[in-house]
Amino acid sequence: MQLTARIKEATDGRITLRVEELPELIVHVRTILEIPDAIGDAAAQLTDRDKKDFEVELHF
């Protein structure tokens, strides 16, 4: 499943992201490199699917 992540806010060393396909999913990370894994983990937990089922595309 393709997930489109958008940065909602970036302040105080923390990045807040929203996922278009799962509007109830909000993820917080400290670096851009953490985004794909953090969103995959959160989406898997929310949907009871395997993390490998998700491909994350980041939009700035």
Cα 34 to Cα 39: distance, rounded to the nearest angstrom: 9
Which pTM does this prediction carry? 0.89
Q: Are 11 and 31 in contact (CB under 8 A)?
A: no
Q: Which domains does the chain have, with CATH numbers?
A: 2-59 (3.30.2390)
Cα 60 to Cα 52: distance, rounded to the nearest angstrom: 23
Query: Residue 8 CA to chain centroid, in angstroms?
Result: 11
Please write the tens of the pLDDT for every residue from 2-58. Answer: 999 999 999 999 999 999 999 999 999 999 999 999 999 999 999 999 999 999 999
